[in-house]
Structure 1
Amino acid sequence: MESPITQSELALRRPPYDPGVAAALAAMAEGGIFAPITLESIPLMRQYAVPEDISRFDLEEKEFTVPGFEGAELAVTVLRRRDHTGFGPGIFNIHGGGLVMGTRMTGISLIAPWVDSHDAVAVTVEYRLAPEYPDPIPVEDCYAVLLWTIEHAEELGIDPNRVIVAGASAGGCLAAGVALLARDRGGPQLIGQALICPMLDDRDATVSARQFDGVGLWDRGSNRVGWTALLGGRRGTDDVSIYAAPARATDLSGLPPTFLDAGSAEVFRDETVSYATRLWEHGGVAELHIWPGGTHGWDALIPGSPLAELAATTRNAWVARLLA
């Protein structure tokens, strides 16, 4: 009988980084940026933001204050082309940040091309963050603002029958949770969900989680901190909702067409592959891409590189086909 693979053996076997990703990670480590996060360091990490440049697009931003879960007031930004007319598709965007940091404009450069190319209207939400606001507040905040978006579609210039939910990292977790809530509560009929390097599973049991422990942009230890902030002592137990950790859902039928991607050299690789596989198992439509040598959020580390351009082109093409 073959003996179990040890943690050290897994580390030796882990997929290599793309050379550009490796160089960027080394530079960040040298500069002391993105050390593994702890509960104590969350306030400090919230002060750092990845630069977002969408200036090449002629877009306007409008700010709203809307009701979240249990009536809490949440900030929302609506992004659309200055020449927008009529009713275009809607992009309901949920930002990343490990469930503990980030703002509604974090990662906005991923969806700005969709707004520009398809005369879409993006709604991006400032949901409340853990640990101050634990589960179920973040996903319920997002679902409440999705309902507000549909209710106010006419004034926003959105076709309520053509709405995509999208999110990267923790935003992918919340986007998947929102899609499950919409299905189970008879809510809005979403036409797609884009889950970019999504954070889906609190159980910390995959091979990729074990391979990337102490290395990479968002490693296994940081991931445990994010989930613990959201779930507290329930992390990894049976007392976790499918809306908080969508990988726990046993039935993935009835969900909209789904785009998923991740890097081959990141914690979320295996849970992303598993989610796509189970979508297919339940008769769903899913498109999956695993980018060779990518760490978590790798395309932000090497913007403009051939691999980053390929990933962006692939995501944009999926949206174009969905909206055709």
Structure 2
Amino acid sequence: MSNAAVTAAASSRATAAGKSALARLGEAFVGRLVILIPYLWLVFFFLIPFVIVFKISLSQTAIAIPPYTPVLGFGDGLAGFFAQLNELSIDNYTWLTQDALYVNAYVTSVIVAAISTVLTLLVGYPIAYGMARAPAMLRPTLLMLVILPFWTSFLIRVYAWIGILKPEGLLNQLLLATGVISQPLIILNTYTAIFIGIVYSYLPFMVLPLYSSLEKMDYSLIEAAKDLGCPPTSAFWKITFPLSLPGVIAGCLLVFIPAVGEFVIPDLLGGSQTLMIGKTLWNEFFANRDWPVSSAVAVILLLLLIVPIMLFQRAQARAQEQDR
């Protein structure tokens, strides 16, 4: 082989190596960009708003626009910023622990959300199981029917339940016409109406994760259990339910978290007598215009929801590592 051919071959190999190196760098950059975008999204739309709300919660109420004393601003430079550190106060958080209204609102919200989550699971699990066991041709249609309520405004659907549950509503008219009851039931403006509204509104959030888990399950395990003499009920609790636990946990979190801070459903279906933290937060912001206290309420609510989730995720990660 001539020197020119050797040089050309070496040059082509170097070019190919350079291209492969550039390709690897491009792939690494794209991979990091894909990971970076969600983190930037969380920083701009979660972390920064949370820091702003937390900063307001450390201030004091003032007759001004906005209605609180500015804290931790850079208008006076670094010296002014460090001077304002001494003006920070946790009086708003102390006030939350001293006033029974906020403690009761937190406790009631957690209890209502927990009961609603259990009811949604009891209703959603059979629906998801039936969808997963339905013929493959019917599954897309059933899935569309579950998603269909999202095509209508959430507020309109809640108002529709007012027309159903009120004393002269459709439900009482049906029960009176069929002779089931002799006088109208009082359902609207009670916690029962709140449970109905939450279960109806958040049912798709429970059904979809459950359906995803149940559809992937190997149902030959159920047939094998039956061949070995396992009753259907025992087969469900020993095989089906444990395999669907990821969907159960995901669905419960998707229902419980927004239900704790729900405002529209308690306000419209529960009436003025119901006490939940979402209504309390709204009243502090817009009726009392006490932004520092309402910000403290929001911070505590966020921590109340995030900390258990983080602890659960850490325990789940440790369990997965032990299984490996």
TM-score (norm 2): 0.25
Higher helix proportion, which one?
2
Higher strand proportion, which one?
1
Bigger relative contact order, structure 1 or 2 (CA pairs below 8 A, ≥6 apart): 2
User: Who wins on radius of gyration, i.e. which is larger?
Assistant: 2
TM-score (norm 1): 0.25
